[in-house]
Structure 1
Amino acid sequence: MLTLPNLLTLSRIVALPLLVALLWWPQWEAGYLAAFVLYCLMGLTDYFDGYLARAQGAVSRLGVFLDPIADKIMVAAVILMLVGTRFEDRAIITGIHLIAALVILLREIAVSGLREFLGGIQVSVPVSRLAKWKTTFQLVSLGALILAGALPEVASIKQIGLGTLWAAAVLTLITGWDYLRVGLKHMD
């Protein structure tokens, strides 16, 4: 069912290769600036697809399925690009900060697997308010880190991005544990 909210979700998935292409060359600051603008637009579609689906009573199974996938692949792709693209040591996420990025990626994989398992036995795990804050910190962090690639001379942007990355990682651990605790109750 291709409603406006579902089209907005699909637009994030379709825009992802362009976002990755813009992040491919970390020495290309204009590319990172364009990636930041695109990333912000993708974040807005994330907000509006959910808002419109609820406001219009158009929540669909397709939307419930696609929205978290779009979020997770966007976050994973951006983290990988910020870690893996190197040019004269210009990777954005390096050193100890890789741990925060890894925590976020591993939790996303684990929670996806847990949701799939629980869905198979007809158990729904609602998204908590804390998980929404985790997502907010992730989105702000990655946006700031992309912007830091566009404006490397402004060190405070990267520091804000790394600080919020760690905040997201802490919330990731807490919410991941919450999901696991609920899931363990339904395992034999």
Structure 2
Amino acid sequence: MTWNIPNILTVFRLLCAPAVAIAFLVLPHPFSDWVALILFAGASITDWFDGYLARKWNQMSKFGTMLDPIADKAMVITAIAVLAMNFGPNPLIILPAAFILLRETFVSGLREFLGETAGLLKVTKLAKWKTTAQMVAIAVLFSFGLFSHYLGMGSFGMDGETIDAIMAGELSDETGLRLSYYGTILSYNGGIILLWVAAALTVITGFDYLRKAMPFLSEDA
């Protein structure tokens, strides 16, 4: 195992996975949402940087190659579990999350079964887009917790007429109510749309990996 910067970034991303869950266990809102969003966004950025730096500095290693996909899956699976906890039994989130978890588990098992021939399941450009869509969707859904919190705080003690007047621009928006309101709507709807896009890409890439592995799964292989 080589402790270079790309590998350190990969380990950091792996450690961020349980840290996101722990944040919601020990911190109150909105601090837990801020910590989770910052950790997840930071970890997502390192997913690009560690590979880029490893190639640029010629620091590719077996340890990094092994740990990189594990760190990605740990981040996504843990974050999805946290979102399921935060949003409750919401089918718009649970259903695409189930497809994502099924695919990740299936491909991991497929790679383990193939053993030395698992190299044929190389990460494709579409798989990279899948990972990007997952991480962006999760980050956006994490931001929903922040917007909804500040929406509640900004409108606390106001009656319906006051809120309507502020939203209409008739009264000064001293608490940032409009920003919180539109942020809440956009982060929720946008996050769910992105999560479904990620789920669709997840299923497509899963079938692609299965197609490539089929010759090795037949009884005559």
Aligned-residue offset at 1:98? 1.0
Give the share of equivalent positions with the same residue, in percent: 39
Indicate the structure (1 or 2) with the bigger Cα radius of gyration: 2
- Alignment partner of 1:125 is 2:111: no
After superposition, residues 87-98 of structure 1 pair within 5 angstroms as: 91=87, 94-98=90-94
Structure 1 residue corresponding to 2:207, chosen from 172, 177, 180? 177
**Cα RMSD for the two superposed structures:** 1.8
CA–CA distance in structure 1, aligned partners of residues 195 and 85 of structure 2 = 16
Question: CA distance change for structure 1 residues 122 and 34 in 2, over 3 Å: closer, same or farther?
Answer: closer
CA–CA distance in structure 1, aligned partners of residues 85 and 67 of structure 2 = 26
| 1:47-106 deviation digits (Å, cap 9, x = unpaired) | 111100111111111111000000001100000011024xxxxx2671233110000011
CA–CA distance in structure 2, aligned partners of residues 131 and 122 of structure 1 = 16
| 1:94-141 deviation digits (Å, cap 9, x = unpaired) | 123311000001100001111122233464321111111111100000
- Alignment partner of 1:161 is 2:191: yes
CA contact (8 A) 1:29 1:151 kept: no
Unpaired stretches in structure 2, ≥5 consecutive residues? 152-183
After superposition, residues 1-188 of structure 1 pair within 5 angstroms as: 1-24=2-25, 28-85=29-86, 91=87, 94-121=90-117, 123-152=119-148, 153=151, 154-187=184-217, 188=219
TM-score by length of 1: 0.90
Aligned-residue offset at 1:46? 1.1
| 1:131-172 deviation digits (Å, cap 9, x = unpaired) | 111111000000001111111242211111110000000011
Greater displacement, 176-185 / 25-34: 25-34
Higher helix content, 1 or 2: 2
Aligned-residue offset at 1:35? 1.2
Unpaired stretches in structure 1, ≥5 consecutive residues? 86-90
CA–CA distance in structure 1, aligned partners of residues 188 and 118 of structure 2 = 43
Question: CA distance change for structure 1 residues 26 and 83 in 2, over 3 Å: closer, same or farther?
Answer: farther
Greater displacement, 39-48 / 23-32: 23-32
CA–CA distance in structure 2, aligned partners of residues 145 and 93 of structure 1 = 15
Question: CA distance change for structure 1 residues 6 and 122 in 2, over 3 Å: closer, same or farther?
Answer: same
Equivalent in the alignment of 1:88: none
Amino acid at match of 2:22: A
CA contact (8 A) 2:133 2:195 kept: yes
Equivalent in the alignment of 2:170: none
